[in-house]
Copies of this chain bind each other. A is one copy, B any other.
Amino acid sequence: MFNFDFYNPTRILFGEDRLGSIDQLVPADAKVLITYGGGSAKKYGTVDKVRNALGDRIVHEFGGIEPNPHYETLVRAAEIVRREQIDFLLAIGGGSVIDGTKFITLAASYDGDALDLLKYGFSPIGLDVIGHTVPFGAVLTLPATGSEMNSGGVISYGQGKYPVFSELAFPKFSILDPTLTYTLPKIQVANGVVDAFVHTTEQYLTYPVEGRIQDRISEGILQTLIEIGETTIAEPENYDARANLVWSATLALNGLICAGVPQDWAAHMIGHELTALYGIDHGQTLAVILPSLLEVRREQKRAKLLQYADRVWRITEGSEDDRINSAIQKTRGFFESLGVKTRLSDYNIGADKIPEIIEQLKTHGMTALSETHDLTLDISQEILERAL
């Protein structure tokens, strides 16, 4: 097991009817900015319920944070935070709104050009750069990214997606009420299942380092998602299925399963280019890339793929290669069973587009991906070709 640090101070309030707690969690004299996305938080009444819980606090609203939140949008919100002297942010939404709100608080508190904050990549932005941020809470409406219980976000700028990490960007609290997610379109729920699944495989399907308990937790998340995936899409108001999706998605990216083990993230990095270039949903890009990536990287990942076949899919018959093939096939089949297509051609991307995807990876410095830093552009190309 590798050495690791684990720190996660976000307070989780999980379950039905938790919005009333906001009154205790937000300082009584706080000036609040509510942030949200395209309007469903407003349409389905969540914004009103949150305003209601905030009582007579002064409340501003900033809607319109888009999927893959844009730098320009967030900087506008940061200006409001400064101008109105906001001292608490409340994000209502999924990963994009929460990621965006993290960036808003960092940008609002940063003295220089906020563009600087996109340069840190996976290196956390420390107290030496930003001394203090406006605290924020989150009300989750889309289970997928885990942003509600971590300190990272992904911000879109130009044709790129930029990771931003900072300990100052942990939500003070997150309210996870599964019933607030009932109104989601099926495809968003399906994408969420895939996203949580691939977050887990990025931290699990690498190489063994005797992180036994981390492996078991990862396998538990994958098994849970497999058990509840189709149900929670078919029966959106099945509370228990949805609750298990919500909590699994949160645990998949709260720092627990990556503690002390290698991490890959190549599927995400390649997938990000597909979103940036063609607007394919994040979850869909992962469903396309992961199966092909596992095929191409079967030697590097052999030991973990065999463990995955055995423990997650209960595949015990056949040669090692048979079992690995079968596990990859089951993975692809699982995504397809959720209604998420797994081929580039399903999204009208042909072989002719591969050069421009590779070019973008090159532009963004994605030339040595994976847990072993040896996934070159040639290998990314092979993965994309297999994904056609």
Residues of A at the B interface (CB closer than 8 Å) are 1-18, 210-217, 219-221, 223-224, 227-228, 239-240, 243-244, 247-248, 251, 256, 259-260
Contact between A12 and B6, CB atoms less than 8 A apart: yes
Residues of the B chain whose Cβ atoms lie less than 8 Å from the Cβ of A210: 240, 243-244
Contact between B216 and A220, CB atoms less than 8 A apart: yes
CB distance from A166 to the nearest CB of B (A): 15
Contact between B8 and A248, CB atoms less than 8 A apart: no
Contact between B11 and A4, CB atoms less than 8 A apart: no
Residue of B nearest to A227 (CB): B212
Contact between A14 and B260, CB atoms less than 8 A apart: yes
Residue of B nearest to A240 (CB): B210
Picked from B15, B213, B223, the residue with its CB within 8 Å of the CB of A248 is B213
Residues of the B chain whose Cβ atoms lie less than 8 Å from the Cβ of A221: 213, 216
Residues of the B chain whose Cβ atoms lie less than 8 Å from the Cβ of A12: 4-7, 259
Tell me, in angstroms, the Cα distance from A223 to B215 when the chains sit together: 11
Residue of B nearest to A252 (CB): B213
Residues of the B chain whose Cβ atoms lie less than 8 Å from the Cβ of A212: 224, 227-228, 244, 248
Residue of B nearest to A239 (CB): B1
Residues of the B chain whose Cβ atoms lie less than 8 Å from the Cβ of A1: 14-15, 239-240, 243-244, 247
The winner among A5, A227, A251, A260 for most chain B CB atoms within 10 A is: A5
Tell me, in angstroms, the Cα distance from A224 to B11 when the chains sit together: 28
Tell me, in angstroms, the Cα distance from A216 to B244 when the chains sit together: 11
CB distance from A94 to the nearest CB of B (A): 19
A–B pairs, 27, beta carbons within 8 Å: A1-B14, A1-B15, A1-B243, A1-B244, A1-B247, A2-B15, A4-B12, A4-B15, A5-B11, A5-B12, A5-B14, A6-B12, A7-B10, A7-B11, A7-B12, A8-B9, A9-B9, A12-B259, A210-B240, A210-B243, A212-B227, A212-B228, A212-B244, A212-B248, A213-B221, A216-B216, A247-B260
Apart from the given pairs A6-B12, A214-B247, A216-B221, 13 other A-B contacts in the complex at a CB distance below 8 Å = A1-B14, A1-B15, A2-B15, A3-B17, A6-B14, A7-B10, A8-B9, A12-B259, A213-B247, A213-B248, A219-B220, A220-B220, A256-B256
Residue of B nearest to A246 (CB): B1
Contact between B213 and A220, CB atoms less than 8 A apart: yes
CB distance from A191 to the nearest CB of B (A): 19
Tell me, in angstroms, the Cα distance from A2 to B4 when the chains sit together: 31
Tell me, in angstroms, the Cα distance from A243 to B4 when the chains sit together: 11
Residues of the B chain whose Cβ atoms lie less than 8 Å from the Cβ of A216: 216-217, 219-221, 223-224
